[in-house]
Structure 1
Amino acid sequence: MINHQIKVAFDEYSSLQELDITDRELCLQAVKAMENSHSPYSKFSVGAALKLQSGKIILGSNQENVAYPSGLCAERVALFHWGANHPDDLIESMAVTAHTNEFKLLKPVTSCGSCLQVMAEYEKKQGKPIRVLLYCIDGPVWVINGIENLLPFLFFEDRLA
């Protein structure tokens, strides 16, 4: 038997004010992205902001549908927009935040498994890790370098290429 251990690493900042101006602005852009969230069923708004190598910012928000599987998370809205429109302008970082009036969020919300797998795909495609900032409004910010720290068992099979 072999015992394997996986460790993930991230930095936690107690508030937005601890971040440098670039990261702080990206988190605020994710908040802005939530304005276009269509979340009448869950009442859980999510916003994502991608910062590209050129400095361009791409926004995405969750888009729900009464036929639940037809909706899409904020992260994938932003990432698919990038893939369709800016694939040569590499993603440097991504901020994600959420809000609901139903209860107070006390820590950052992590991305779902489907979003993490899409992030991993685009990270592989661009050959460069994506820095992810998970921002809890009026709370901590988690900064993660590379998707493997969020999804240590990400799916890749190079023979499928």
Structure 2
Amino acid sequence: MKKQRSIHYELHENWRLSGLVPKEIEQKLEDLLKTAYAPYSNYPVSSVVLLENNVHIVGTNQENAAFPSGLCGERVAVLAAKAAYPLEAIKAVYIMTAETERAPAAPCGSCRQVLHESELRQSKPYQLFLMNKTKNALEFNGIQDLLPFSFTLPNNL
């Protein structure tokens, strides 16, 4: 039996002119790109997690010569947010790359799974914004559209 699944997202062209991202978060994302540690990929990524109490938790990619040991910017921010505020729900995650011409980069598979787990922990989805530095942004209302077949352990383990 064939089945089909739709992916729902919104494309925001010239997002900087639209007011999509609060100015304070936009500035943090921009500043954080300069502090990303990406000597191997030369691909800086910054992320801001907005909690429901309006606290901002930030992260950047932190690479390592032993490649699996590095962490992506969004994973750093989400894990730091849940470590510092385990009971506070995430309202939105903003991810910016320094790329200026191509479409916004999507999170890697490991990051998608971490984002999924954080949604499970709070029992509700949050907004996810993927953007390049200058032009386009993609807005998702939850991780399910980026990770439709997520890994979840059975409850009886």
Q: What residue in structure 2 maps to residue 144 of structure 1?
A: 140
Distance (whole Å) between structure 1 residues aligned to residue 118 and residue 20 of structure 2: 25
C-alpha deviation, 1:21, in angstroms = 5.4
Aligned residue for 2:113?
117
Matched residue of 1:114: which SS? helix
| 1:76 matched residue in structure 2 | 75
Question: Hey, what does 2:17 align to over in structure 1?
Answer: 17
Contact 1:60–1:75 under 8 Å retained in 2: yes
Determine helix, strand or coil for the equivalent of 1:159: coil
151-160 or 7-16: bigger deviation? 151-160
Per the alignment, residue 130 of structure 2 pairs with 134
CA separation of 1:70 and 1:12: change in aligned 2, threshold 3 A = same
CA contact (8 A) 1:46 1:73 kept: yes
Quickly say closer, same or farther: Cα 1:112–1:27, change in 2 above 3 A: farther
Identity of aligned residues (%): 30
Alignment of 1:29-68 (within 5 A): 29-68=28-67
Task: List aligned pairs for 1:99-118, cutoff 5 A.
Answer: 99=98, 104-118=100-114
Amino acid at match of 1:86: Y
C-alpha RMSD of the superposition: 1.6
The runs of at least 4 aligned residues of structure 1 exceeding 4 Å deviation read none
Please give the alpha-carbon distance, in whole angstroms, between the structure 2 residues aligned to 1:3 and 1:117: 25
Task: Give the Å deviation of 1:160.
Answer: 5.4
- Say which is worse superposed, 31-40 or 140-149, in terms of deviation: 31-40
- Which amino acid is 2:93 matched to? M
TM-score (ref. length: structure 2): 0.92
Q: How many residues align?
A: 156
SS of the residue aligned with 1:109?
Answer: coil
State the TM-score, normalizing by the size of structure 1: 0.89
5+ long unaligned stretches in structure 1? none
